[in-house]
Structure 1
């Protein structure tokens, strides 16, 4: 049986009362990404670990947006 982890969101989203943020979780070895503002109707994207790690590297290296 594949274990599905809890949804996690950025700590920078903690003060967001509208719950509008991108969330991630692990589904076995596969990261999944979703947009929380769509609640139960949200699409859940399953990506490869290498694609997810590439996204994280890009976000960390990108300049902050206001």
Structure 2
């Protein structure tokens, strides 16, 4: 599994950071930054999927390898 973020569509709501602060952060403009692009284990994978679902701009994708 791999997390991808489309920074050009991010609106800076921060829902991804609230969902999984170990995997996501925001830059000085509030734009998503992926800190952990390859989640390990079921718990991290579940949080990545949840972050994808709560993103209001649909800027986060989870790619299954």
TM-score (norm 2): 0.32
Point out which structure has higher relative CO (alpha carbons under 8 A, 6+ apart).
Answer: 2
Judging by fraction of residues, say which structure has more helix: 1
